[in-house]
Amino acid sequence: MGISDILKSKKKILLVLLGVVIGICGSFLYLRNQKASQTTVAYICADEKKLDISFSKGSAVLLLDKKIRLREKASNEEVTQYVSIQENMTLWKNKDFVMLEQGNTVPYYDCSVGGPQGDGLSNPALEIPSDQVEIVGGSE
């Protein structure tokens, strides 16, 4: 084995190490940007219930007993609807309020950051007028 062979193998090792370092740095940057695009909001609902929701583009994660992922289904300028078919849940969100439906019940209603506003179920998040619906993705 000559000197040129040793130099070639060192060059290959350095290139591989450089690739690994670049890959690790890229992974950290990606993860940092993913965290920055998520917003977690703590809501206080009627009956003193608390509801923590982590929002990101096109989805929401409910932080209850377990994490429940919801996908954006429909939206207009005022209201966004998120659904989870597996958990039979629908989350309605507007600028100030959220409301969570589970099956035929509404366990979390009149939820806002500052606490219940006394509107009960009569907040604007109840429904999206059908003429203003924009289907985001997926099938019904």
pTM, full prediction: 0.60
Task: List the chain domain ranges.
Answer: 1-36, 39-135
CA distance 78 to 119: 17
Task: Give me the amino acid identity at 40.
Answer: T
Angle at 123 between CA 67 and CA 118, to 5 degrees: 95
Q: What is the CATH number of domain 39-135?
A: 2.40.128
- Which of 121, 56, 64 has its CA nearest to residue 87? 64
CA distance 59 to 1: 59
* pLDDT tens for each residue of 5-38: 776 788 888 888 899 999 998 888 877 766 556 7
